[in-house]
Structure 1
Amino acid sequence: MICALGTQREAVWEHMLAGQCGIGPVTLFDTDGYRSRIAAEVDLSEVQARFTPYQRRRWSRSDMMGVVAAEEAVEDAGLLDSGIDRARVGVLLGAGTGDLVRNESYYFTMRREGMDRARPTWIHNHFSSTPVDIVAAHFGFEGVRSCLMAACSSSTIAIGQAVDAIRRGRIDAALAGGTDALSRLTFAGFNALRLMDPQPCRPFDAGRQGMNIGEGAAILVLEDWDRARRRGARIYAELAGYSFTCEAYHPTAPEPEGQAIGSTIRAALDDARVNASDVTHVNAHGTATPQNDKAEARGVHVVFGDRAPAMPVTSLKAMFGHCLGAAGAMEAAALALTVSRGVIPPTIHLDRVDPDCAVDVVANTPRQVPVPCAVSTSLAFGGNDSALVLRQA
């Protein structure tokens, strides 16, 4: 994991449990004139030394963050030491805008100073799928390779499709997750939609005003259960089920009564062959927009009924922002640690829970509690909803 809270899994986890906020002024580009001028930027200076001059020159922020997250995951899983056939290891990542920051710099330089002054190398990695290719080539993995783009559900869907590929016997293991970097386009777009809070966001709070964009990468090593156990791999959780659906309601707003996200959660539970009564925690999408949090809380009620008011729910976006194409993977990685370690990270900046969000929000301090089975949800523009079910290993 790499995000505004740190460049390594344990540092990120420690800062999450401490309720640290990684949101601050944007330094990557000029934010004059925007309603919100803050985001959750990643400090890449800590990891620059591991890259060659060529890589630093040609790779984008998304590429670098993806490789950092992948290297940590592969080493932790002992995948390269397991004798696995690299032709049967897939790479499936969710993405958003790719390397738009450098593309934008190329465009503005061309406009201001002429085409001769704009360096073509700035747009070398134009495609959002480039991180998938770079991560796969970095390790020599030749299995299923896919870049998923479904807005904020991209990396959750990528994880689900990796599970599907392993179940069908197409691959033995996969690097699955997402990587996404800040750009002017996304920052301006969400500001234009008036979805951005000028202050650090407050999921589920009665006074919430919107989201903060973040950037980062999280990659999981997914592997057939029996194979992982035989080789003695460190297993954090079982990814028992997943789902992805389309609300067909509105391009940018969630279905307000929670029926759509409720259907998505139920489909994931069905895939996992898990009863709703077995779930003890929900890691929510929790963007801190008025519409999202209310619809998501209602979805929890749709699925869990009388248990919903006491269902522990958390949103991590007030700490590392909304990482867009990487958001679902960030939250899935955090949930795997939650299930493994029995600690739920908090929803910070919460003063008063919105009465319309009648769930047990884990507010401001972590909660030590066994989490044998949990759900992570992702809601995206276009009505692209997805959910994962994780169980204790």
Structure 2
Amino acid sequence: MQIDFGLDRAPRETRIVVAMSGGVDSSVVAALAARSGAEVIGVTLQLYDHGEAVKRSGSCCAGQDIYDARTVADRLGFGHYVLDYESRFRTGVIDRFADEYARGRTPVPCSLCNQGVKFTDLVAFAKELGADCLATGHYVRRVVNGGRVELHKGKDPARDQSYFLYGTTQEQLDFLRFPLGDLPKKEVRRIAEAEGLAVASKPDSQDICFVPDGDYAGLVQRLRPETIAPGEIVDMQGNVLGTHRGVVHFTIGQRRGIEIGGQKEPLYVVGIDPDARRLVVGPRRALAVEAMRVEQLNWIGEDQAEVAVKVRSLAPPVPARLAGEQVQFERPEYGVAPGQAAVFYDGTRLLGGGWIAETVSAEQGQMNAAAA
């Protein structure tokens, strides 16, 4: 299979840097780049200290993954660099993740990583190497339309990763390439097998890469021990219903762990006050959100009023109206919480996005309308 990397010069005159995580996706990108006839250089990020990295599995950019990436580069016959970005990753991603959790918000560390070390720093390094482009294993499509580069959802909806790339800049997009955007995962593994790559059957990474066991609370309480202090659980009128064992164990919309009986209907976390160590709980209908404010907006496409917006990576886009930082949902939406990314689309095209700063509940909106 041949992939056109969309470069102006003949393949033998070009240099492609491939971001190699050690998984099957980026390894296949490296194989496709090598097959194109271009000079290929692989780059892998080491994001943990060596002792921790060796112990990790089911993640990316860890000890075994670095070894796997180097093995692929050796088999395909090109040079391979390992960049120690541990301190940058800890400051820009892990610490911010812990801080957001400690504030009672729901962070999206994969978006932070892509906006920082994976794109900003890697693009700069690739350019220092004299590369014509940086290729990655993300399942998104780069489309040139009338001379302008656009970013679209991956063709396979089950693999699409555009939600995490809303922070990409137009300058970065001009330099980036995503060869897997039109391929299903099954075809990617078939290519890996045909190339004789040892990672062909390697499992996909799971959960957040620096929390491969899924214990987010355990990580946050180690970094921010104040989050394990017990506190009150109150209803939406402020009545004390019980106690909790630390706000670190809860996020907006969570039902598990509240453990308060005798209620007419199940209770969910509808608010978190970390300074007062207080959880606010209420019925599911209290989680319905009619509007939100989105800050730190980044636009790849045009800033338009009628959009489709995703508030979680696995949620379908829903219709909304955008006016500056204010987003009004066409219908009340569930699963919306401060700290998440709100990502805007026009069909399959990614327009941009930002961080959810505040939400307006549908109940509060109705109360405001009645008062007016």
TM-score of the aligned structures, taking structure 2 as reference length: 0.32
Higher CA-based Rg: 2
Structure with higher helix content: 1
Structure with higher strand content: 2
